[in-house]
Chains A and B, each alone.
Chain A
Amino acid sequence: MARSWATMEDFEAFLDDGGLVEADDPMPDAYRQAVFAFIEMHANSELMGGLTERDWIPKTPGLRHKMAVLAKTQDEIGHGHLLYMVAADLGVKTRVEMLEDLFAGRSRFHNVFHYRAVTWGDQVAIAFLVDAAALISQQAVFKNCSYGPYKRILRRIIAEEGFHMRLGEDRMLRIAEGTDRQRLMFQESLNRWFWPALQLFGPDSESDDVLLRWHIKSERNEVLRDRWVQKFVPMLQSYGFTVPAPDMRWDAVRHRWDVGPIDWEPLKRTLAQGGPDSSRRIREAADNWSRTAWVRAALSHNNVAANDAGNGSTSAGGS
């Protein structure tokens, strides 16, 4: 297999054939940029998700419970780590550049992580609804992803997200079977998080979406969104919660829930101007990043003098 492609048509034929691109392949620049932007956004979202959960971890109600929640958020940070490593190997930005862009408010991440978890119920709603939405998207990417290093780490990420969903469902069940105050708290969380979670999938895919054409995504946004709706609407109802969608109806012909028209304005506003809480979290993370700069500087100390500096952009390239 000669790993170079004379034209975009050749490259796309290779992808259509199920070919997997590796970090050291001479891929078309447009593909490199598109894959990089997609993985960088995924990495940012994992990290921002961890920062959203961070607010509540020290207050987790229960000792063993706290261990489980810590392990979950640790995984999210770990996913960020895996993704930043893979993204850096594409040679577009270094890991530090990606983090600094994020902390300077220059990069994108999923809409949901612009909001604040204001109660413990929100923490559970995120673990249950948002993680499930993320998992559905990731499974669809994994299924047919043409970028090899991304596909391989997605296997691990998806396995771990499976643990999180079960944790989220277990915690949600305790609330569903719990006191009136608990149930009320979770209903309010559901009212806050249902629509942002649903909008994580984004608006309907454009017909000429290059992410689909280049087999980075394998299914259209609206298909994934519908999969989530069909799974979670009946589940939430069976636990006695109200889905906050006044126009929702059961389509007896298609045997599907139709949530009604989706108001995309909040999503657009969030992506354009940042959300209600992201600037605070980013500022906090940025402050911590600069306050710990001395650690990173000291750890890099002497590497160059010892003639063994590696900045990661050498030939072995990627995972």
Chain B
Amino acid sequence: MRVYEVFVKKDGRNEFRHVGALEAATDELALVLAREAYLRRAEGDRLWVVRRDHVVAAAGDFVDPNADKPHRHHDGAAVAARRMAARQSPG
């Protein structure tokens, strides 16, 4: 048996979301079994199953440096303060 990761999408607004995993012998069985394991109450209208060994995963510290890039997050509060100040002293 292989492990498959299961992804589900609910209506047009949302992205596919990872909902869990299951074991299955073939791709077809993975799809068939995923429906009753994860969509019994129509929790989504689209279903993906992906073999876990086909997932290309980043190591934990790969993304971390991007958590420290403040120049990509313009500070709305500072802009708003200056906007207010400008309104109060026109000219």
Whether the complex brings A and B within 8 Å at their CB atoms is answered yes
B60 within 8 A of A: yes
Selecting from A47-55, A173-181, A215-223, A305-313, the interface stretch reads A305-313
Q: Are A81 and B60 in contact (CB under 8 A)?
A: no
Interface size class of B (residues with CB under 8 A): 20 to 34
CB-defined contacts of B23 to chain A, threshold 8 Å: 85, 95, 312
CB-defined contacts of B45 to chain A, threshold 8 Å: none
Q: Are B1 and A303 in contact (CB under 8 A)?
A: yes
Bound complex: CA A312 to CA B25 (Å): 13
Select B37's contact among A81, A310, A314, beta carbons within 8 Å. A81
Interface size class of A (residues with CB under 8 A): 20 to 34
Interface majority SS on B: helix, strand, loop or mixed?
A: mixed
Bound complex: CA A266 to CA B28 (Å): 48
Whole-angstrom distance between the Cβ of A123 and the nearest chain B Cβ: 21
Task: Produce 1/0 per residue, B22-39, CB < 8 A to A.
Answer: 110100010000000100
Inter-chain CB contacts under 8 Å: number: 67
Whole-angstrom distance between the Cβ of A186 and the nearest chain B Cβ: 29
CB-defined contacts of A308 to chain B, threshold 8 Å: 2, 51, 53
Bound complex: CA A3 to CA B67 (Å): 13
Q: Are A303 and B2 in contact (CB under 8 A)?
A: yes
A2 within 8 A of B: yes
Say whether, besides A3-B60, A25-B60, A300 and B1 are in contact (CB < 8 Å). yes
Whole-angstrom distance between the Cβ of A302 and the nearest chain B Cβ: 9
CB-defined contacts of B37 to chain A, threshold 8 Å: 78, 81
B9 within 8 A of A: no
Q: Are B40 and A1 in contact (CB under 8 A)?
A: no
Whole-angstrom distance between the Cβ of A39 and the nearest chain B Cβ: 14
Q: Are B52 and A312 in contact (CB under 8 A)?
A: yes
Q: Are A316 and B2 in contact (CB under 8 A)?
A: no
A255 within 8 A of B: no
Interface residue ranges of A16-33 to B (CB < 8 Å): 24-25
- Other than the known A300-B1, A319-B19, what 4 A-B pairs have Cβ atoms closer than 8 Å? A303-B1, A303-B2, A314-B52, A319-B18
